[in-house]
Chain A
Amino acid sequence: MPLQIAVCIKQVPDTETRVRIAPDGKSILETDVNWIPSPYDEFAIEEALRIKEAKGGEVVLVTVGPDRAQSALRTGLAMGADSAVHVKDAALDGADTLVTARALAGAIRTLGTVDLVLCGQQGVGGDNSQVPGLLAEMLDFPQVTVAVKIDVQDGKAVVEREIEGAREVWETSLPAVISAQKGLNEPRYASLKGIMAAKKKPIQVLDAGGVGLDAATLAPRVRVVAMELPPERPAVKMIEGDSGTQAKELVRLLHEEAKVI
């Protein structure tokens, strides 16, 4: 049975980015930032493509973000997704996770019947791990988060997910929201042919009204009021001597000075 799959993605700074604080003191400086799709979202895209290749169907990418976010959609389209929806509105600039999830849910509702929604388990940078659960509740879908294995069967999915020190096996009816963890798969690189094809694939742009948001539902409930760099760590104490001496001295310092062993 062919599946209609929506994949929610977020454009984020490359993980090698050296973070600097913007003059407003509440955000990071975007100058010289290299923007990429969040790495966990790439696992979600890859999984959607594999399910489509096995079962047939369609993969639609959905994102909320400013103009630059279009390049993340093009990356996913070049990997093989069929089309994309870009929710873009200045009114979403201060969006928190709740508002973002509402916008994504609204965009997914415009797609008609959806069998599966895939997300990264966390947007790298914001590090909230919230959108999959928020979205599932808003769409009234079940959720399985932090998936490392997904087996889609008729009307259901069997999913392995990570918890502390173990893996659980979950079963969910479809439609469902499933969030992808590292280990789920190895995302493919876009081929040159894929990159060329992506330029012609449709990206539908919707504004806040187009996904059903109004002044009340656009109001964030969590606001960043200040951002700062982590405190500097004290200078390193180098331990001298041969390796036997160094080892004994380190153990002594950890016990007597740091008191951690």
Chain B
Amino acid sequence: MPGILTFAEQRDGKLRRASLEVLSEARRLAGGVGGSVGTAVVGKGSEALAAELGSYGADTVHVFDDPGLVSYATESWARAVAQVIAETSPTVVLFPFSAMGKDLAPRVAAKAGAGLASDCVLLEVKDGRLSARRPMYAGKAYATVEWEGEPQIASLRPNVFALGPPDASRKPTVVKGAVDAAARAKATGTSAAGEGKVELTEAQIIVSGGRGLKGPEHFHLVQGLADALGAAVGASRAVVDAGWVEHQMQVGQTGKTVSPTLYVACGISGAIQHLAGMSSSRYIVAINKDPDAPIFKVADYGILGDVFEVLPKLTEAAKAHQASRG
């Protein structure tokens, strides 16, 4: 009996971690929803990923392994997922709220005429029906949502749902599907800009800088600590708008909403729109010379001090710590 279908995102033959988080969550919900867990994976070479998807909980893997499906295109990918929905009538469909999932899930929801809740951080099943908790206003409020009808479609925030332990002895049933690969909009290449950086929404540790750095020439202090901690680098809106760093680094309401295990705010006072974007981090460190800075209200650990003095010392201490752990 069909229960849950998940979408597994792959690029260049590699599964995105967020897709495995979604699959792990599907496995946890399967008992309550009833039925089996299916996964759809689309693109050339995707059949080779079936075993890994099986180990994370897929009973059935629907593969669309077609040489015409080289790089992600919304229309052909949506056609494939919608086809699996039409053929298997799942009760619940789950996507990762990754760049691809964000682009794809609405198109699939419109094809299915079904409700979609984005960026969910908690899923529960009551009497066989799904309910979800999702941040709104960039985390200034949390809504609990329920669905009318089926399938109940949700996209899940990366970095929030625990990755289940893989079990290599689980062998999934592989179902091969075929779909028209034509798409009116498609990728023709990758631009070099911003390539190779750790994505903020997927980072375990983020070190962010704000106006307290006084100028773009001092941002290397933030980068230095980030390097020592193996962290991604973020920034406040003020310094993005001032042109110190590129906008992809912005954390807050018109930038990225992040939930790392550790967020270190350096010289960031904590405007309400910034706090909205990072206050769901597990641990927050604030370094600021203003004792009244609102950032201290959300921080777990605070250092009242000058970032120009504290950051070099902290980088040194972090390096020593990493070295001591080999």
A-side interface residues toward B, CB under 8 Å?
A: 13, 15-19, 21, 26, 28, 39-40, 96-98, 101, 124-134, 136-138, 142-146, 158, 160, 162-173, 176, 182-183, 219-230, 233-234, 236-239, 243-244, 246-248, 250-251, 253-255, 258, 260-261
Name the CB-closest residue of A to B260.
A260
Which of B29-37, B45-53, B113-121, B163-171 sits within the interface? B113-121
Which of B60-68, B216-224, B283-291 sits within the interface? B283-291
Considering residues B138, B248, B282, which has the most beta carbons from chain A within 10 angstroms of its beta carbon?
Answer: B248
Name the CB-closest residue of A to B114.
A221
Across the interface, A239 reaches (CB within 8 A) one of B103, B139, B261, B303, namely: B303
Q: Are B111 and A137 in contact (CB under 8 A)?
A: yes
Q: Does B15 contact A (CB under 8 A)?
A: no
27 contacts between A and B (CB under 8 A): A15-B276, A16-B273, A18-B140, A19-B140, A98-B113, A98-B114, A127-B135, A128-B116, A128-B118, A130-B106, A131-B106, A142-B184, A162-B99, A165-B199, A167-B194, A168-B191, A169-B189, A171-B188, A183-B247, A225-B131, A230-B139, A239-B302, A243-B310, A243-B313, A254-B285, A260-B282, A261-B321
Q: Does B183 contact A (CB under 8 A)?
A: yes
For the complex formed, measure the closest distance between the CB of A16 and the CB atoms of chain B, giving whole angstroms.
6
Across the interface, A133 reaches (CB within 8 A) one of B110, B119, B137, B320, namely: B110
Residues of A within 8 A of B78 (CB): 137
Residues of B within 8 A of A229 (CB): 140-142
* Residues B129-150 near A (CB distance < 8 A): 131, 135-149
Considering residues B131, B147, B253, which has the most beta carbons from chain A within 10 angstroms of its beta carbon?
Answer: B253
Given contacts A162-B248, A165-B198, A239-B302, contact A15 B115 (CB under 8 A): no
Q: Are A127 and B279 in contact (CB under 8 A)?
A: no
Q: Does B317 contact A (CB under 8 A)?
A: yes
Q: Does B20 contact A (CB under 8 A)?
A: no
Name the CB-closest residue of A to B193.
A167
Name the CB-closest residue of B to A145.
B103
**Bound-state Cα–Cα, A164 to B100, Å:** 9
Residues of B within 8 A of A13 (CB): 137
For the complex formed, measure the closest distance between the CB of A163 and the CB atoms of chain B, giving whole angstroms.
4
Q: Are A169 and B187 in contact (CB under 8 A)?
A: yes
Given contacts A164-B98, A172-B185, contact A146 B103 (CB under 8 A): yes
Q: Are A255 and B300 in contact (CB under 8 A)?
A: no
Q: Does B202 contact A (CB under 8 A)?
A: yes
Q: Are A101 and B142 in contact (CB under 8 A)?
A: no
Q: Are A246 and B141 in contact (CB under 8 A)?
A: no
Given contacts A237-B301, A261-B318, contact A129 B118 (CB under 8 A): yes
Q: Are B247 and A182 in contact (CB under 8 A)?
A: yes
**Bound-state Cα–Cα, A176 to B119, Å:** 25
**Bound-state Cα–Cα, A146 to B98, Å:** 12
Residues of A within 8 A of B75 (CB): 142
